[in-house]
Amino acid sequence: MEEFQAFINGFGMIFELKYFLLMFGGVTFGLILGALPGLTGSMGIALMLPFTYNMPALPSLVFLLSIYSGGLFGGAITAILINTPGSPANVATVLDGYPMNLRGQTEEALGVALYSSVAGGLIGCMFLVMVTEPLANLSLQFGPSEMFMVAIFGLSVVGSLSSNILKSVFAGLVGILLGTIGMSPSGATRGTLGTYYLLDGIPLIPALIGFLAIPELFNLSARGFVVETADSRIDIKRIVRSLWMLITRPVQVFLCSAIGVIVGVMPAAGATIASLLSYNQTKQLSKKYAEFGTGIPEGIIASETSSSASEGGALATMLVLGIPGSASTAMLLGALMIQGWIPGPRLFIDNKEIIYASISSLFLQQFVMLVMGTLLCLFSARLIRLPTKYLLPCIVLFTVLGTFSYRNAVFDVGLMLAFGIVGWFLKRNEFPIMPLVLGIILGPIADRELLRIGQAYDSMLDIFHRPITLGLFILSVLSILMPLALSVLRARKKENPG
Amino acid sequence: MLPQIAQRIGIPFLLLLMALAYFLEVRGQREQDLLLIKPVFYLLAILFFINAATDLRDILRERGRKAAKSGEKEPLKKILLFAALTVALVAALPHAGFLVSATLFIFCALFMSGVGNRAILYAMPVCVSLALYVIFEYVFGVELPAGFLGF
């Protein structure tokens, strides 16, 4: 238990006032940025990176990891309040978080999301301590065929995202096609409409905000309040009481966290796929299957524990192998390179003490997030009770600014609005949007890895000789067939209750 | 029956048309660039027909019965007005700049919502726009669109 000893020793290194100040500052900054539509924790890391030039390695890591942790939960706040995931990892939180908010259970939804995020972060941290190297080595087993199947596995949940499975799959396929727009890995331009702004494909932030937030904001313009039934008094007890919802579901919390950690090691899509898979599996196996998507805490727990726990997996890959799996971890690696560290397998071996100390700080950051997150939840719950005539213009401006900040391009704002108008039209005619958004997120990954498979293998069938690929394929097929089979079984049970 | 058909089959049809236009544009490219696009498009087309047949069957079944009431829809006029205002904001951004566009946007939104209090009507647009401008321009370092006034 050398690793565990190093983890405990790490606490000794960070139990100083300056580290606590860095954690509070970083988590608060990450929370605020994550909670603003269009802005993300990754942007926070990018903004603060220059400030870490003159910092030693450990304070720099502690500060940036704090922003990362805060940003992960911050995105859940907009997901719950205005139907806009702050990052792709919060997409599944929208499904039950926003309906709970509309029902007047804003504090409960925010509380469940906060405690789920903290629980997932703590469990992810423990996994990170105990199985860092096996987790990281697992990511080395993932080649193009495995990554392609991971994307397919993630996409296989589209069938369960709405009551009409066929329409959901149809929407998902449209999303995948949209996701292939841009310059292909081999250099061909597809569907760019002659503009270089689309060469990198459809930018994610305008798509997320456009399809999810803008239709909702348009609809809210016809209402006096976001939550019509809410009492104007904010009750912190409702936030605190929602902890009980987690305590009474320990198996779900642990299993979803485990899914998050394992899927989190996969580069590029770990947190997003983790939260979606976790949501889907929880839904399939739950007695309250039919209630998912209507606003139940189980949906938020599944999504948030998993996306927070995936942090542990992603960090394992980054720290042990020097392979960043996302923009955030790439910037964290950049921060280490500023310190003169060399990315690669020796990073972990040569700097074990500091890395375990930063993992210890990750553990403490969850408790900091508990405090700052509660305050932000209270503030947000108060804010959402303002009349829409004051709230909506400000939120729209935030979405415009957040979208613009992504690439400093007015084109992105126009794209967001175009998607918003299309999304509103689809929503008004009861066409599922979430599968379409999922297709846009995961389509590019599937496209890129399929090209690599084409280059690496003579025949597509050769990929099924790889056990992980075969396993993921079987899981994907089951993921598609299981909702159909379960719905038939449930329908039969309803007809013949005896 | 026709509105139901338009709603349930029309929208997937429009999306299929969009997918077809995209497919026709890219089909001349190399095979390796169409590895995912081709099977997805074919699947989409097949699914459209299955979906359309299923929906048509359901519509014909429901024709005899009283149609189920779908969820109450938000009043259209207010939504369209707000949407038009948002379009105007985005259109004005590169020309009038963020500060002017945002101030006018908030003012018009408050006016359309019937806010009578002059202090709020005039002060809120200026204060909010200015605050956002300062935060994004000077704190986050994002260079916001500048219009003909230079800011």
User: What is the pLDDT, as a whole number, of residue A63?
Assistant: 92
Four-residue CA torsion sign, A422, A426, A427, A429: positive
Residue of A394, A399, A406, A457 to mutate for B, most B C-beta atoms under 10 A: A394
The closest of A374, A366, A368, A372 to A126, measured between CA atoms, is: A366
CA of A274, closest CA in chain B: separation in Å?
A: 23
Contacting A residues, span 421-440, partner chain B, CB-CB under 8 Å? 421, 424-426, 428-431
CA of A405, closest CA in chain B: separation in Å?
A: 6
Q: Is residue B71 part of a domain?
A: no
Rounded CA-CA distance A159/A295 in Å is 19
Confidence band for A84, pLDDT divided at 50, 70 and 90:
confident
- Across A133-147, A268-282, A364-378, B48-62, least confident range: A133-147
Q: Is residue B69 part of a domain?
A: no
Rounded to two decimals, the pTM is 0.85
Of the CA atoms within 13 Å of residue A213, those in its CB half-sphere come to 32
> Is B44 found in the same domain as B99?
no
Contacting A residues, span 29-58, partner chain B, CB-CB under 8 Å? 43, 47
Share of residues in chain A with pLDDT > 90 (%) = 29
Q: Is residue B89 part of a domain?
A: yes
B92 at the A interface (CB within 8 A)?
no
CA of B35, closest CA in chain A: separation in Å?
A: 7
- Across A60-64, A369-373, A485-489, B70-74, least confident range: B70-74
Spatial CB neighbours of A59, under 8 Å, sequence gap ≥ 6: A18, A19, A22, A52
> Is B84 found in the same domain as B53?
no
Residue pLDDT, tens place only, A91-113? 899 999 999 998 889 999 999 99
Region A448-475: mean pLDDT is: 87
Rounded CA-CA distance A266/A333 in Å is 17
A176 at the B interface (CB within 8 A)?
yes
> Is B127 found in the same domain as B80?
yes
Rounded CA-CA distance A88/A326 in Å is 12
In Å, how far are A250, A270, A287, A487, B74 from A116, measured between CA atoms? 11, 18, 20, 29, 33
> Chain-wide mean pLDDT for chain A?
85
Q: Name residue B68's amino acid.
A: A
User: What is the pLDDT, as a whole number, of residue B103?
Assistant: 96
The closest of B144, B29, B19, B96 to A190, measured between CA atoms, is: B29
**Which chain B residues are Cβ-neighbours of A404 within 8 angstroms?**
142, 144-145
Q: Do B105 and A176 touch (CB under 8 A)?
A: no
Q: Do B11 and A454 touch (CB under 8 A)?
A: no
End-to-end, the C-alpha distance of chain B in Å comes to: 54
Q: Is residue B144 part of a domain?
A: no
Contacting A residues, span 221-250, partner chain B, CB-CB under 8 Å? 221-223
B141 at the A interface (CB within 8 A)?
yes
User: What is the pLDDT, as a whole number, of residue A232?
Assistant: 58
A331 at the B interface (CB within 8 A)?
no
> Is B83 found in the same domain as B55?
no
Residue of A168, A400, A416 to mutate for B, most B C-beta atoms under 10 A: A400
Residue pLDDT, tens place only, A392-405? 999 999 899 989 98
**Which chain A residues are Cβ-neighbours of B109 within 8 angstroms?**
389, 392-393, 396
Q: Do B32 and A414 touch (CB under 8 A)?
A: no
The closest of A135, A179, A161 to A277, measured between CA atoms, is: A161
Query: In the listed set B39, B64, B89, which residue is the last one of a domain according to the structure?
Result: B64
> Is B19 found in the same domain as B56?
yes
The count of structural domains within chain B is 2
> Is B22 found in the same domain as B43?
yes
> Is B49 found in the same domain as B12?
yes
User: What residues make up the domain containing B81?
Assistant: 76-139
The closest of A319, A265, A271 to A138, measured between CA atoms, is: A265
> Is B129 found in the same domain as B93?
yes
> Is B87 found in the same domain as B132?
yes
Q: Do A392 and B30 touch (CB under 8 A)?
A: no
B59 at the A interface (CB within 8 A)?
no
Helix (H/G/I), strand (E/B), else coil: B96: helix
**Contact A55/A63 with Cβ under 8 angstroms?**
yes
Rounded CA-CA distance A97/A92 in Å is 9
CA of B4, closest CA in chain A: separation in Å?
A: 10
| ipTM computed for the complex | 0.90
Rounded CA-CA distance A398/A404 in Å is 10
Q: Do A451 and B15 touch (CB under 8 A)?
A: no
Q: Is residue B122 part of a domain?
A: yes
Residue pLDDT, tens place only, A144-156? 888 888 888 888 8
Q: Is residue B118 part of a domain?
A: yes
Rounded CA-CA distance A428/B70 in Å is 11
Q: Name residue A303's amino acid.
A: S
- Across A130-134, A237-241, A383-387, B37-41, least confident range: A130-134
Residue pLDDT, tens place only, A313-334? 888 777 777 777 677 787 787 7
User: What is the pLDDT, as a whole number, of residue A123?
Assistant: 92
Q: Is residue B150 part of a domain?
A: no
Q: Is residue B7 part of a domain?
A: yes
Confidence band for B8, pLDDT divided at 50, 70 and 90:
confident
> Is B87 found in the same domain as B56?
no
Residue pLDDT, tens place only, B56-93? 888 888 776 555 545 556 688 999 999 999 999 999 99
